[in-house]
Structure 1
Amino acid sequence: MLANYLIGLREGLEMALIVTILIAYVVKVGRRDVLSKLWIGVGIALVVPLGIGAMLTWGPYGMSFEAQEIVGGTLSLVAVGFVTWMIFWMGKTARTMKSTLHERLDSVLVGAGWGVVILAMLSVGREGIETALFVWATVASVGGGWEPFVGALLGLLTAAVVGFLLYRGMVRINLGSFFAWTGAVLILVAGGVFAYGLGDLQEAGVLPGANVHAYDISAIIPASSWYGTALAGILNFNPSPTWLQVVAWVGYIAVVAFFYLRQHRGARRPAPKPAQPTAQHSPVAS
């Protein structure tokens, strides 16, 4: 539940920031007449992910076990790819997001401004689809239940409240630190989902090694215990993973964490100061 709350909070805050930037700019340039169109685009962007989530949840029920595992494993890997891209994209474009959205708004605020619908739908919908995929993947990896959905919903509601307070200027938070720390935690969560997706493909027979387990500590940390359930819900912990899952988890965490730290160290590095012109002495005539 905590992992899905974090996903909902982070993705929801990204969506809230985008909506806040769009609304503030539309009001600033005196185009309040397109606010209704902007909210139409936002509404569509929120409905589409709900439909995708419903399709992913109830669609595979009529399939065979192997087909369900293939679909589940493949979509888990797709969700990990989306979230990994999102983590690095936010780190790269966070500083220019506002100016980029302003430029795109300028290009669609023509005439009746119906292009605002498409801009809002695409800008917000991308975050919503990522949220639906990743929440579904984390829910599938821990065996279902309503708790993960409740966690994601609470995260989205918290993000909506924070976004409103930010828009009103009633609260200030260090968004750079927020996205940096939540990104680091999501890397751990995504590593567990990555390993789970590979495990699904192994059970379906697509990948080998389904019965070759690296270790089994279920006697020490039972999956049914409260702490086993907590670890599974937060980090997708598996007490008896296969060798492929262990290697994939370690490899994913190591590679992604390395580039993530390098990106943030580069972002914090101060820009080099311009070189001071050297004083030139004119020759003195004797």
Structure 2
Amino acid sequence: MLANYLIGLREGIEASLIVGILVAYVMKIGRKDVLPRLWFGVGIAVIVPLGVGALLTWGPYGMSFQAQEILGGGLSLVAVGFVTWMIFWMGKTAHSLKSTLHNRLDAALLGAGWGVVVLATLSVGREGLETALFVWATVASVGGSWEPAVGAVLGIITAAVLGYLLYRGFVKIDLGRFFTWTGAFLILVAGGVFAYGIGDLQEAGVLPGSGLHAYDISPLIPASSWYGTVLQGIVNFNPSPTWLQMIGWVAYIGVVTVFYVLQHRKATRSRAAAHPTPIASAQQPVAH
């Protein structure tokens, strides 16, 4: 539940920031007439992910076991791709998000302003689709438990409240630090979903090695124990992964973490260059 709460919180805050920037800019330039269209686009962006989530949840039951495993494994890998892209995208564009949205909104306001509907739908809907797909993958990985979905909903509700408070200026959050730490945690969560997707594809016979387990620590950490359940719910812990799952998990975590750290360091240097620390000038002797 905690992992999906953070997913919902992070994605919800991103969406809230986007909506807040769009609404504030529309109000600033005196185009209150397009606000209903903006909220209409946001409404579409909320409804579509709900429909996708429902389709993924109830659609596969008429399929064969192999088809379900292929669908589940494939969509898990797609979800990992989306989340990984989202982590790096926010790290790259967070500092320019406001100006980018302003430029797009200027173009969307031409004429009657119906382009605002498209802009709001695409900007907010992307966050919703990423959330729906990743939450569905984590729900599937823990055997259909609804706790991950509940966690995500609670995270989204929290994000909506925080987004309103941020827009009104009642609270202030270090968004850079927030996205940095949640991004690092999501890499760990995505690694577990990646390994789970590999396992599904092995069960379907698409990938080899389904019976070749790297280790089995089930006697030490039973999957049915409370701590095993907590680990599974947070990082998709598997006490007996196959060799391919373990190799995939290590490769994903290792490669993504290296690039994430490099991006963070580059962003830190860029901010330092843009806002250099003033150097105190040497005290000059006083002339008599």
Indicate the TM-score class for this superposition, using the shorter chain for normalisation. over 0.9
Gaps of 5+ in 2: 277-288
Matched, 1:197 2:197: yes
* Alignment correspondent of 1:271: 273
Matched, 1:41 2:41: yes
Pairwise CA distance, 1:108: 1.3
Pairwise CA distance, 1:247: 0.5
* Alignment correspondent of 2:109: 109
Pairwise CA distance, 1:110: 2.0
Matches within 5 A, 1:7-86: 7-86=7-86
Matches of 1:108 and 1:248, distance apart in 2: 43
Pairwise CA distance, 1:103: 0.4
* Alignment correspondent of 1:143: 143
Q: Which amino acid aligns with 2:9?
A: L
Q: TM-score, normalization: structure 1?
A: 0.94
Matches within 5 A, 1:95-174: 95-174=95-174
Distance 1:28 1:198, change over 3 A: same
Distance 1:151 1:209, change over 3 A: same
Matches of 1:251 and 1:147, distance apart in 2: 28
Map Cα deviations across residues 63-110 of structure 1 (whole Å, 9 max, x no partner): 111110000000000000000001000000011110000001111112
Q: Which amino acid aligns with 2:273?
A: A
Matched, 1:228 2:216: no
Map Cα deviations across residues 132-158 of structure 1 (whole Å, 9 max, x no partner): 000001111111122111100000000
Matches of 2:242 and 2:162, distance apart in 1: 41
Matches of 1:253 and 1:273, distance apart in 2: 32
Pairwise CA distance, 1:32: 0.6
Identity level (%): 77
Matched, 1:183 2:183: yes
Matches of 1:130 and 1:155, distance apart in 2: 14
Q: TM-score, normalization: structure 2?
A: 0.94
Give structure 1 regions of 4+ aligned residues with deviation exceeding 3 angstroms: none
Count of matched residue pairs: 274
Gaps of 5+ in 1: 275-286
Matches of 2:260 and 2:275, distance apart in 1: 26
Q: Which amino acid aligns with 1:105?
A: L
Pairwise CA distance, 1:273: 9.7
- C-alpha RMSD of the superposition: 1.1
* Alignment correspondent of 2:245: 245
Q: Determine helix, strand or coil for the equivalent of 2:273.
A: coil
Map Cα deviations across residues 172-191 of structure 1 (whole Å, 9 max, x no partner): 00000000000000000000
Matches of 1:250 and 1:111, distance apart in 2: 52
Matches of 1:156 and 1:120, distance apart in 2: 18
Distance 1:111 1:273, change over 3 A: closer
Q: Determine helix, strand or coil for the equivalent of 2:187.
A: helix
Q: Which amino acid aligns with 2:167?
A: Y
Q: Determine helix, strand or coil for the equivalent of 1:25.
A: helix
Matches of 1:253 and 1:85, distance apart in 2: 14
Q: Determine helix, strand or coil for the equivalent of 1:271.
A: helix
Distance 1:96 1:273, change over 3 A: closer
Matches of 2:274 and 2:20, distance apart in 1: 33
* Alignment correspondent of 2:283: none
Matches of 2:238 and 2:274, distance apart in 1: 47
Matches of 2:166 and 2:206, distance apart in 1: 48
